[in-house]
Amino acid sequence: MAIIYSYPTATPQSTDNLLGTQYDATTEENKTVQFSIANVNSLGTSNFLEATVTITNAQWLALNATPVTLIAAPGANKAIKVLAASAFFDYSTPSFTWTANVNISVNSVNLAVVPNSLSAVNADMVYSCDSPAAGILATNTALVATGGGTTAGGGSLQIKVRYQILDISSTTSF
């Protein structure tokens, strides 16, 4: 067998395979098998969901008084757990300006924040929120964008959220 660093490097594709071992319960031994990159990836992101919501310019200007739903309430005994959040300011004059943080929250618990220290945004910008923040998750409650004290802005704001739905009525899906 060649020394590992003598092999060429490549960019993996989802259809490529990795070599690995899998336990065989019948023989009680490990056998050498191939795993597709796609299957390994899906195992690592199992039960992760993603949503991108565009907040229009009119919604941005009204955000302080009118929250925007990012993820609808998931139903009885289910809670939204935010894993990551980011914001894309799609700039068009005038600059996005706001006087308070834009909060991504469930039942007034802020799980991610777009800080007002970024104001005024006068070009396209992507911001990665510090998330997830700690907090008690309310069941059957929507995830919303609120606040901001928006004073001006052209263009739109897109918020992308990676999340899980936790089901407290089932020990297998929590």
Encode pLDDT of 32-72 as tens digits: 888 888 877 777 667 889 999 999 999 999 999 999 999 99
Q: What is the mean pLDDT of residues 71-86?
A: 95
Q: What is the pLDDT of residue 82?
A: 93
Residue type, 159: I
Q: Give the residues across from 97 on adjacent strands.
A: 152
Domain ranges of the chain: 16-46, 49-167
CATH for 49-167, options being 2.60.120, 3.30.70, 1.10.8, 1.25.40: 2.60.120
Q: What is the pLDDT of residue 113?
A: 94
* pLDDT band with cut points at 50, 70 and 90 for residue 16: confident
Q: What is the pLDDT of residue 19?
A: 85
Distance of alpha carbon 151 from alpha carbon 156, whole angstroms: 14
Q: What is the pLDDT of residue 1?
A: 64
- Start-end of H helices in the chain: 37-44, 57-62
Q: What is the pLDDT of residue 130?
A: 81
CA distances from 81 to 76, 104, 148, 165 (A): 15, 12, 22, 6
* Span 121-174, pLDDT tens digits: 999 999 999 867 788 899 999 999 999 888 898 999 999 999 999 998 876 655
CA distances from 11 to 15, 29, 36, 37, 40 (A): 12, 32, 14, 11, 15
Choice between 5 and 11, residue whose per-residue pLDDT is larger? 11
Q: Residue 81 above 60 pLDDT?
A: yes
Total Cβ atoms within 10 A of residue 63: 24
* Span 98-128, pLDDT tens digits: 999 999 999 989 999 999 999 999 999 999 9
Q: What is the pLDDT of residue 78?
A: 94
User: What's the pTM?
Assistant: 0.76
Sheet holding 109-114, edge to edge: 68-71, 143-147, 102-106, 109-114
Q: What is the pLDDT of residue 47?
A: 81
